[in-house]
Structure 1
Amino acid sequence: MSVLHALVPAPVLSLMILGLWLALAPQITPGQFVLGAVVALAIPRLTAAFWPDRPRLARPLAALRLAGTVLADIVVANFAVARRVVGPLHRLHPAFVEVPLDLRDGFVATILGSIVSLTPGTVSIEIDRERWILFVHALDDTDPQQLVDTIKRRYEAPLREAFAC
């Protein structure tokens, strides 16, 4: 293990923490930068034991594309859910859907479940790691296979690409 890796075990996470610290600071001063850097270096080291099998991000650009897709889907789904909820409730078709997973990494599957839950109108309920199935509740779903295909195409495939799993 190199000295640099020992000092900064998760450089991307450290940069994100520093960026968030500076974004929330009332003013960006040298003192805020130093304090933010200390926090950004300390948090990954202090939380490393909670992430024993954390996979490495193999393709950061794929992860950025996925983040853009998720953000766009959240905005679009907010309007779609609002329109459905304001309309007649008898038109809603709630459903439980089983999404078979191609990925076999628990951490990445958890990220997928989080993405599904962040998107309004769907909530991930459980990840069955024996059969590798993601259980999803959809607020309005008339075609379960289309929902499965959408989750696999828009979220699972880019996650597998980003984490090379």
Structure 2
Amino acid sequence: MSRILPHPLLSLGVVIMWLLLNRVSPGHLVLGAAVALVVGQAMAALEPSRPRIRRWDKVVVLCVRVVLDIIVSNVAVARIILGGGRAGRRAGFVEIDLDISDPTALAVLAVIVTATPGTAWIDYDAAHGRLLLHVFDLADPEEWRETVNQRYGRLLKEIFE
């Protein structure tokens, strides 16, 4: 069973998401199950190491912080786009020297940055620990460096390192 379904929870999650995003029908159930089997096999081939979470209480703090930041960022980006406040604003790139090195912490940071409207994870230089971030409304690059390292990096370091 484990060779066919090496990651049963992941596969179940894929099937459920497939059915939520499509109509619930026998055909979609079969197709979702096939996709789930392929995803499970792909994850088994990657053999990811299990993340070690050291501070579960900080996970809750991080989740609340991220949800609030996403809401605030949604409102800010909507105001710029819908309010015509684009004049005088400029998008740009910021290089940020990260204080974290754990692969799981970096992956979580990438998800946070990508999920937050107005920002995009462009590149990560592992040799130098440097992130290239695109910001939709870049007023102060130093503020973004501080935000990423202090607001998220510090918590991720406490959680994973």
TM-score by length of structure 1 reads: 0.67
Over residues 27-71 of structure 1, what are the superposed CA-to-partner deviations in whole Å (9 max), with x where a residue is unaligned? Answer: 377x93x7755643442114533x35x342334966676455444
> Which of 113, 118, 137 lines up with 2:115 in the alignment?
118
Equivalent-residue separation in structure 2 for 1:15 and 1:161 (angstroms)? 31
Q: What secondary structure is seen at the aligned counterpart in 1 of 2:52? A: coil
Check conservation: 1:98, 1:133, Cα contact below 8 A.
Answer: yes
Change (3 A) 1:65 1:83: same
Equivalent-residue separation in structure 2 for 1:157 and 1:10 (angstroms)? 31
In the comparison of the two structures, how many residue pairs are matched?
156
Over residues 112-148 of structure 1, what are the superposed CA-to-partner deviations in whole Å (9 max), with x where a residue is unaligned? Answer: 2343233222222211111001011222233323222
Equivalent-residue separation in structure 2 for 1:159 and 1:40 (angstroms)? 30
Check conservation: 1:122, 1:136, Cα contact below 8 A.
Answer: yes
> Which of 73, 77, 81 lines up with 1:81 in the alignment?
77
* Deviation (angstroms), 1:7: 4.9
Check conservation: 1:117, 1:123, Cα contact below 8 A.
Answer: yes
Equivalent-residue separation in structure 2 for 1:95 and 1:46 (angstroms)? 36
Give ranges in structure 2 of 5+ residues lacking alignment.
none
**Corresponding letter in the other structure for 1:79:** V
Equivalent-residue separation in structure 1 for 2:60 and 2:10 (angstroms)? 14
Equivalent-residue separation in structure 1 for 2:97 and 2:49 (angstroms)? 21
Equivalent-residue separation in structure 2 for 1:84 and 1:106 (angstroms)? 34
- 2:141 — aligned with what? 144
- Percent of counterpart pairs with the same letter? 35
- 2:100 — aligned with what? 103
Counting only pairs closer than 5 Å after superposition, residues 55-74 of structure 1 correspond to structure 2 as: 55-59=49-53, 66=62, 69-74=65-70
- 1:21 — aligned with what? 18
**Corresponding letter in the other structure for 2:41:** R
Q: What secondary structure is seen at the aligned counterpart in 2 of 1:103? A: coil
> Is the counterpart of residue 45 in structure 1 residue 41 in structure 2?
yes
Check conservation: 1:109, 1:127, Cα contact below 8 A.
Answer: no
Give ranges in structure 1 of 5+ residues lacking alignment.
none
TM-score by length of structure 2 reads: 0.68
